[in-house]
Amino acid sequence: MTDFWEYTLIETAARYSVVILCLVVFMAIFEIVTSYNNWKEIKNGNLAVAMATGGKIFGIANIFRFSIEHNDSLLETMGWGLFGFILLLSGYFIYEFLTPSFKIDEEIATDNRAVGFISFIISVGLSYVIGANII
């Protein structure tokens, strides 16, 4: 019984550590592709940026949740998490493309909360669609 608990605790700590590391890397990539500084805007009270960023964090974590649930190895979990992130990132670019009448980044940077909320919902919604397809 002791081996079971030790193995489960180690596996949980390993998966947690990998997900946190991936989350930091993926958020850094999102920081690069957006025209505004996420953390500076959040510090200044920009709720639209906070919602969009929160949606991205939730989306990434949710994709990893599905990945952990459906994969036995840490490498498979990382692979599906990376693939899910790429799909989530492509969803961001598709959203920008489908709204040619205004720039998503500019609207979020100016604290347009409606655009920030839709960005949040898109990230969360896509994460469920992506996660449902992880095997």
pLDDT above 80: residue 80: yes
Name the pTM for this structure: 0.89
Rounded Cα distance, 77 and 67, in Å: 5
pLDDT above 90: residue 6: no
Angle at alpha carbon of residue 63, lines to 114 and 105, rounded to 5°? 30
Rounded Cα distance, 104 and 76, in Å: 33
Rounded Cα distance, 67 and 103, in Å: 32
Answer whether 31's CB lies under 8 Å from 37's CB.
yes
Name the DSSP letter for residue 34.
S
Rounded Cα distance, 123 and 84, in Å: 11
Rounded Cα distance, 49 and 106, in Å: 11
Q: What is the pLDDT of residues 21-78, one digit of tens each?
A: 999 999 999 999 999 999 999 999 999 999 999 999 999 999 999 999 987 788 999 9
- pLDDT at position 104 is 94
